[in-house]
Amino acid sequence: METFDVAVIGAGIAGITAARDLSKKGFSVVLLEARDRVGGRTYLEKGLGDVIELGGAYVHWTQPHVWNELYRHGISLLPPLTARKAYWLADGTVHSGTEEEYYEVVGPAMKQLFADARERFPLPFMINAVDNSDIERESIEDRINSLGLSAYHRDVLDGALAGVVHKHRDHGIAQLLHCVATYFGDYNAFFETAGTWAIEGGTKRLIDAILSESTARIRLSTPVSAIEDRGSKVSITTRAGQKILVRSAIVAVPLNTLGDIKITPSLPHAVRNMIEQKNPVMASKIWVRVRGEIEGFAAFAPIGKHPINAARTERYHDGDTLIMCICSDAAAIRADNREAVQAALQRFVPTIEVVDTASYSWAEDEFSKGGWMMHRPGHLTGGAAQIRQGHGRIHFAGSDIAGLEAGAIEGAMGSAVAAARDVAAALANPDTSLSIARPHM
Ligand SMILES: Cc1cc2nc3c(=O)[nH]c(=O)nc-3n(C[C@H](O)[C@H](O)[C@H](O)COP(=O)(O)OP(=O)(O)OC[C@H]3O[C@@H](n4cnc5c(N)ncnc54)[C@H](O)[C@@H]3O)c2cc1C
């Protein structure tokens, strides 16, 4: 049987970061990845005659872990095209104006929605600093219903949130409040960090830079089926039946695939509950190439009232324009149905002519089974906070369970740095308790 100090399961941003950190410290590390590629829910691929980010793409210099990596490796950021015009579907009509005019319309409802964000999460890095059990029972829908908005303003608000949410009744309000609290109580600031600046050279360049500093052994096409903490060792079983013995493991797979791995001893109740209820986000990102260099725009539509909920001109390429679209519900439109995509975009800009489309089905992929994380009520401060404390010799990382920046590349990286630090500390002192000597974050 093969042995290593540490097995890291899942080679997304979290897994490769944890494997790199531990291998740099001198531990022998095996990185077990189910797919035949690394990167997980980040995926830079050829498409539309260019290269496009099919998964996570946007990061920011205010994100400490991401920026540290980019800065050290001399990688810059690129903004999208300036959006000269905004379109928003509200009360059955498409309205338009400058971006400033759009923000004036949506601003007051946003302020109302997030009025208590900083009070609820005064120390965003310590998610349970105050008792939020009451809002952890509240869905986004409950919160919006309580604002007393007109039908028009409700649609405007729904549309503004649609790029990050799947269905308002499925998500807790807590994660959105926490995201906004992290960025000084300002939704626009949060949104700029989450969805504006792309990595020069793409996520693959960042991943290659991290891997260039790693000596971890990478095993692709190796899904893990079971992990057992046997007291002094952890046994890893792959789907192919291979067994690997390690001193500690870091599990860095999406929440929606965690239930496919048998973990022994069984996880605490709140964690199992979160795994069973899953991440509800079944959204899709569709890239569209349209004829000609059109004027930059951004468009917003409420969930359930239009198949494309957010669209933005991203860049010009070879005389055409590439548009990035988010569909809150991937099932609402097929990316390869160019006529449907064209009709959906023409609702905002009637002259648009679609040349080509590209997308990736994260909801149907058995190793993601969904998109980015947006927790159901109760899990942000419950199961996710609990699983970050580790489970004996089995530790967890990944954007889906991150404390800061859950659902983002930054969250994946930050949680991996913490898990690698905990594992390194435990392995350096094998005779002491494995409990983690740090504040619960
Ligand atoms: C369409 C889309 C757009 C997004 N946009 C942004 C954005 O602009 N900015 C941003 O910050 N974030 C964005 N995100 C979110 C971001 O991409 C993810 O949160 C982040 O990449 C997740 O990293 P991770 O390492 O935690 O998980 P993953 O990247 O999901 O990595 C987990 C790995 O585990 C592997 N795995 C699963 N099961 C097993 C198993 N049984 N055995 C072994 N391996 C297994 C998977 O194949 C995968 O490689 C987006 C996500 C999507 C889907």
What DSSP string runs through 75-89?
A: --EE------EEEEE
Per-residue pLDDT of the chain (441 residues; tens, 9 = 90+): 899 999 999 999 999 999 999 999 999 999 999 999 999 999 999 999 999 999 999 999 999 999 999 999 999 999 889 888 999 999 999 999 999 999 999 999 999 999 999 999 999 999 999 999 999 999 999 999 999 999 999 999 999 999 899 889 999 999 999 999 999 999 999 999 999 999 999 999 999 999 999 999 999 999 999 999 999 999 999 999 999 999 999 999 999 999 999 999 999 999 999 999 999 999 999 999 999 999 999 999 999 999 999 999 999 999 999 999 999 999 999 999 999 999 999 999 999 999 999 999 999 999 999 999 999 999 999 999 999 999 999 999 999 999 999 999 999 999 999 999 999 999 998 765 445 545 566
Q: Whose CA is nearest to atom 21 of ligand 1?
A: 41
Q: Whose CA is nearest to atom 48 of ligand 1?
A: 40
CA of 12 to the centre of ligand 1 (A): 6
CA of 40 to the centre of ligand 1 (A): 4
Which ligand 1 atom lies nearest to the CA of residue 15?
25
CA of 254 to the centre of ligand 1 (A): 6
pLDDT at 433: 47
Of residues 252, 233, 253, the one with CA closest to residue 244: 233
User: Is 362:371 a contact under the CB 8 Å cutoff?
Assistant: yes
CA 278 to chain centre: 14
Alpha helix locations (H) across 25-98? 64-72
Residues with CB under 6 A from ligand 1: 9-15, 32-35, 40-42, 55-59, 194-195, 223-224, 252-254, 257, 260-261, 285, 362, 367-368, 371-372, 398-399, 407-410, 412
pLDDT at 1: 87
Residue 374's alpha-carbon distances to 241, 336, 357, 408, in angstroms, are: 34, 26, 26, 10
User: Is 11:33 a contact under the CB 8 Å cutoff?
Assistant: yes
CA–CA separation, 184 and 190 (whole Å): 9
CA–CA separation, 137 and 378 (whole Å): 6
Q: Whose CA is nearest to atom 13 of ligand 1?
A: 56
User: Is 341:288 a contact under the CB 8 Å cutoff?
Assistant: yes
Which ligand 1 atom lies nearest to the CA of residue 410?
11
Which ligand 1 atom lies nearest to the CA of residue 66?
11
The enclosing H or E element of 209 equals helix 202-211
Could you tell which of 166, 326, 409 is best to mutate to test the pocket of ligand 1, judged by most ligand atoms within 8 Å of the CB?
409
DSSP state of 137: G
Q: Whose CA is nearest to atom 9 of ligand 1?
A: 58
Burial bucket for residue 397 (CB in 10 Å: 0-12, 13-18, 19+)? buried
DSSP state of 150: -
CA of 258 to the centre of ligand 1 (A): 13
User: Is 172:375 a contact under the CB 8 Å cutoff?
Assistant: yes
| Residue 441 CB-half CA count within 13 A | 20
CA of 99 to the centre of ligand 1 (A): 31
Spatial neighbors of 82 by CB under 8 A, at least 6 apart, are 296
pLDDT at 138: 97
CA of 309 to the centre of ligand 1 (A): 22
For residue 54, report the phi and psi dihedrals to the nearest 5 degrees: -85, -20
Helix (H, G, I), strand (E, B) or coil at 236: strand
Q: Whose CA is nearest to atom 26 of ligand 1?
A: 398
